[in-house]
Amino acid sequence: MALKNDCFALPAGVSWTPVDDALADLRARLSPVTSVEAVSLDTAQGRVLAQDIRAPISLPPADNAAVDGYAVAHASLTSDGEQHLMVVEGRAAAGAPFGGTVAKGQAIRILTGAVMPNGTDSVVMDEDVERDGASLSFGSGLKAGANRRKAGEDIAAGDIALTAGTRLGPAELARLASIGVASINTHAPLRVAIFSTGDELADPTETLLPGQIYDANRAMLLALAKAQGVEPIDHGRIPDSPAAIADALTSAARGADAVIVSGGASGGDEDHVSRELSRMGAMALWRIAMKPGRPLALGQIDGVPVFGLPGNPVAAFVCFLIFARPALHRLAGASWPEPVGYPLTARFPARKKPGRTELLRARADGIGGVEKFRSDGSGLIGGLVWSDGLVMLEHARGPVEEGETVRFLPYAGFGLS
C-alpha cells in the first residue's frame, strides 16, 4: 500500500511552519502501509492490532468469590445482632463449582475464584467468622453482594476489548488471553531503513583519520527506531556524493516501508539528501519553527516516506522523537501517539522568543522541579545522556523565569528507557 506521491507536498510560500501545524499535516497525510497477518499471542508482543476485538465471553464468566470464606444469601441475615447459619456439606472452590443449591439460613464454604453457588449472593470472609462444627456465626452488617465479583465486571460479552491501532503490550496480551482470543490480525512490523551521510564519518570500529568524527547517529537512530517496535534495517554510512546518496535512497526505499537519513538535509553545498530527494520524488523541505531541529527534509521515493533528519545528533534525536516517531507509529498501523508530558517548576531561567517551539534537554529533580542541561543550543551528546526528558517551550511562549511552570516530556513517554 504506497502513499500518494505528493503526501508531503506543502503549499508554496509556506515559510516557518509551527511544530503543531507540521504535526497535524503529517498526521493527516500518513496512513498505515504494512500488511496484515494473523499471529498467535506468543508472537504478538509489540505488534499493532489490525482489527477491533470484541469479547466473545463475559469476564468473569460468572459471579465468583473475591475472598476465602462462606457464601450466604444476604436475605438470610438480620439487620442487627449476631448471625447464626448452618454450614452445608461440600464446598465451592476455583475450578470446582458446587452443584447444589444453598437454602436460606445456610452457608457454604467458598474459596477465592469459586463460582457463587445457587442461592448465594454474598461472601463473609474467614477473618470475620467463628465456626464450630456446622454452625457459623458472625456479626451483622455484611453488605449485599459483599466480596463477590460480578460476572462481566471486567468486560461484558460483545463489548470492544481492544481497538485496532493498539500496540500489544503485556496488559493487552492479558486481556486477549483472558477472553480466550488466541489469534489476532496484526500489522506486520514496519521496516525502517536507516543510514547516515557525511564525508567526515567513520565507523566506531575504525581508527579516526584527521578531520573525521565517529558516526553517532546511526547507532542512536537504530536504537530509537527499535524502541518504537519497528524493525530497523542498517544501511550504513554514505559519503556526501549525489550519486551515492541517490543510490542509497533508492535501495533503502526498495527494501523498507520508511527511510530515515541523517545529515545533509539543509540547503548547503554538501547537503545532497534534500537535493536528491527533490530530484527523485516528492519532497518538501519543511522549515519548521523548532529548536533544535532545522532542517527536516521530508520526501518520498516510490511512495516510501523518507525522513531526512539533521546531522547534529541532538537535533536528530529531537526530530526523531517529535516528528519521525509519531509518523512511524502511524505508518505501522498504530494510533498517532501524543507525547506524554506533565507540568514541573523550572529551576532555571531561559531565553526564548515567541514564534518557535524549543526543546531543552532536561532532568526532573524528583521534588516537583526540572533542571536544564548546562549548555543550550549545542550538539553535545553528553546532554542527551545527562537528561531524562525534554522541556517543551511552546511556540507562543516568551522567556522563562525561574519558578515558572514548564511542560516536561520524559523520555520514558517516548518508549525510551
Site of interaction with ligand AMP (CB under 6 A): 196, 198, 200-201, 213, 215-217, 262-265, 310-313
Question: Which one of Mg ion, ligand AMP, none is in contact with 310 (Cβ closer than 5 to 8 A by kind)?
Answer: ligand AMP
What residue has cell string 437454602?
103
What's the min distance (Å) between Cβ of 307 and Mg ion? 16
> Total binding residues for Mg ion by CB under 5 A?
4
What's the min distance (Å) between Cβ of 293 and ligand AMP? 11
CA distance 335 to 329: 7
Name the residue number minimizing CB distance to ligand AMP.
311
CB 308 within 8 A of CB 273: yes
User: Within positions 131 to 170, which residues make up the interface with Mg ion, using CB under 5 A?
Assistant: none
Question: Which one of ligand AMP, Mg ion, none is in contact with 300 (Cβ closer than 5 to 8 A by kind)?
Answer: none
CB 389 within 8 A of CB 364: yes
Q: Is the CB of 175 or the CB of 237 nearer to ligand AMP?
A: 237
> Between vectors from CA 237 to CA 234 and to CA 240, what angle results, nearest 5°?
145
Question: Which one of Mg ion, ligand AMP, none is in contact with 296 (Cβ closer than 5 to 8 A by kind)?
Answer: none
Helix (H, G, I), strand (E, B) or coil at 89: strand
CA distance 76 to 299: 74
What's the min distance (Å) between Cβ of 206 and Mg ion? 18
Selection from 234, 135, 256 nearest residue 189 by Cα:
256
What's the min distance (Å) between Cβ of 216 and ligand AMP? 4
Which is it for the CA torsion 105, 106, 112, 114, positive or negative? Answer: negative
By CB under 5 A, residue 119 contacts Mg ion: no
By CB under 5 A, residue 263 contacts Mg ion: yes
What's the min distance (Å) between Cβ of 316 and Mg ion? 11
Q: Is the CB of 87 or the CB of 194 nearer to Mg ion?
A: 194
Reading the block at residue 322, the C-alpha cell is 517529535
What's the min distance (Å) between Cβ of 244 and Mg ion? 13
Q: Is the CB of 198 or the CB of 281 nearer to ligand AMP?
A: 198
Q: How far is CA 3 from CA 61, 151, 217, in A?
A: 44, 46, 27
Q: Is the CB of 13 or the CB of 210 nearer to ligand AMP?
A: 210
By CB under 5 A, residue 311 contacts Mg ion: yes
Q: Which of 198, 229, 305, 310 binds Mg ion (CB under 5 A)?
A: 198
CA distance 114 to 136: 20
Q: Is the CB of 310 or the CB of 326 nearer to Mg ion?
A: 310
CA distance 414 to 261: 20
Segment near Mg ion (CB under 5 A); pick from 30-38, 197-205, 227-235, 349-357:
197-205
CA distance 345 to 347: 6
Question: Which one of Mg ion, ligand AMP, none is in contact with 312 (Cβ closer than 5 to 8 A by kind)?
Answer: ligand AMP
Selection from 305, 309, 279, 306 nearest residue 296 by Cα:
309
Half-sphere exposure of 111 (CA within 13 A, CB side): 9
CA distance 264 to 310: 7
The binding site for Mg ion (CB under 5 A) comprises 198, 263-264, 311
